[in-house]
Structure 1
Amino acid sequence: MKIKIMIKIFDKIGFFLKEVNEFYVHKKCLSKYSQKFFSSFQKTINKVTTTNDWFRIEDLLITFSQWSKNLKKEKLEYWMSKYSITKKKSKKILVIMPGNVPMIGLHDFLCVILSGHKIIIKLSEEDNLLLPFLCDMMIYEKPMFKNKIKFTKNIFHEKFDYVIATGNNNTARYFEYYFRKYPVLLRKSRTSIAVLQGTETEEELISLNRDILTYSGRGCRNVGKIFIPYNYNLHLILKKSFISEYITKNYKYTDNYKYYLSIYTMNKISFQKNHFLILKEEKNFYNPISVVYYEFYNDLNQLKKTILKNKNNLQCIVSKNFLDKEIFFGKTQYPKLEDYADEIDTIQFLN
């Protein structure tokens, strides 16, 4: 299948997601194209939010908005123009997808399909409804996709050539052993940090809270630790977290908050808090849900060395005029198509 045809289909998917988001947020009318799929998709959305308590409608709409901006013909063409995809025998690519963030495996899906390969998808039980629906839309538009996409519940029954597997540090050991005979792109646990210098605007601090709390803080692109100068007023951060107050409707998140609040209180551990977020001083990079670690610094150059030393643990670094590869406040959950997880080019790996 020609790449132009595939891009055209993905552009339609992006248009559909844009209209779904606008329907829920602004009550805008749907086009005739979107009306064909909307009723079934709405049922899928309802099922997602009732079967996975981590995924609220607010989370899904953020995902739909982000992907509607990326799945545009001009952006897809620009992205793929950087590669020389030669016609050769199609490989079967096994992709083991995580489920901590809605449709988090869609980028790997795009990479495999646009590279001309066949994909075998092992979904997480946490996120096993949205991507299959979009695949059904693609097959409706172009039945040829049916021969390129397969979902599996048992990877031991499948034959494949390459593997892309995303998990945590524990599952990575299993993946490394089981897939040792295959070319494998393996992603382990990562987290994200922010560096504040005390000159941030009110809007930037509001945006930082989005980086912290979107998707209940469960993604590797969520900021889990903040580096701050000495004497920084932490309440400047806590005051701006109201932007994500909808998170208090998620009982799983609030259960985590209550748990860590009681643990820290009983053990007389110092912390700052509001009614749904805890800030705790900590050297560690990996924070639990509802808690954000902070660490003081007094030398930016020394801090750069610390960050460089821990770069293999970091997905995003949020800051302003601090590092070359920094991400602006509020942008961690809106990666571009060319922003690869762990900075490993998936398309180059596949080709």
Structure 2
Amino acid sequence: MKPVHYADYLQLDKILGAQQTESEQHLQPAHDEMLFIIIHQAYELWFKQILYEVESVNAIFQQPSLQDNSPELQTIVHRLQRTVTILKVLVQQIDIMETMTPMDFLDFRDMLRPASGFQSWQFKALEARLGLQFLQRHGQEYYISQLRPEQVTLIKKIESEQPLISLLNGWLERMPFLDEQGEWWARYTAVYRESLTDNEKNNLSAFDMVFGSESMDGRQLSAKASRAALFIMLYRGYPILQLPFQLLNVLLEIDEQLSTWRYRHMNMVHRMIGSRVGTGGSTGKEYLKGAVDKHYIFKEIAQLTSFLVERRKLPVLDRQTEQRLGFTASS
């Protein structure tokens, strides 16, 4: 076997030679441009890794059968937890970027036009893989306008495939317990309604829309999938539901970290350029604010917490269901 050298394995000649500053080419060297390039190159490498993890998760979900307590589900949860950890690093990198002052940035900013982070096709691909639909996007008219033709083709191909949220919906709909729990659902609905205050009882339409309507009507989780997800949240103490609960929870963490990154990015942009237009022609902070407010991918999972009730009020499951959930040993 041929010996492997550290520098060759990492192709360090390519990586360390990939920082060509525009300011030096204009014979006006700006010290902080090196930091600016390296930070964004690091972002793109992390985007590549996150895409790698999410695509592998989607491939597992596409299997015809995925057990609730299987090694495959453990792999899914593990890889999505890794994704959350990487997203936290992306947020922390903004601290490094903010060591650059607005005047430092102005030394080279105008030399970058029309380059912009909005041209990051990998980030758009990641959002699409997770399940951010075109109609949910802020600034749809601007969304792919800055991409190269081959990048637009790739993004559209990804958007035509099943994203993670859709695959999750199919998996939740296959949950075996709820098909036999019509009586339980009736009891739970009664308990939930009794738990509401007078003001909340005036707004029962949200409950009926999420769990009662068979029409998706712009939603990404069906009524059946939503009932299954709620069941997992309510009875997550049962052994067979612990991994499914971790899965739902890690998806909420992904949304939280993406939102935190967008928020920190928005504030950094405001700090650096104020209300000026971005180098790519966007409205800068105002565009980013719209994305912060709108680009929640797993919001329908988060919404389910509105329909929880106290543990002591939960309907007791029948013995057969408890046995199948792994809480009581079979007799």
User: Shorter-chain-normalised TM-score: which range?
Assistant: under 0.3
Higher helix share: 2
- Structure 1-normalised TM-score? 0.23
TM-score w.r.t. the length of structure 2 is 0.24
The structure with the largest alpha-carbon Rg is 2
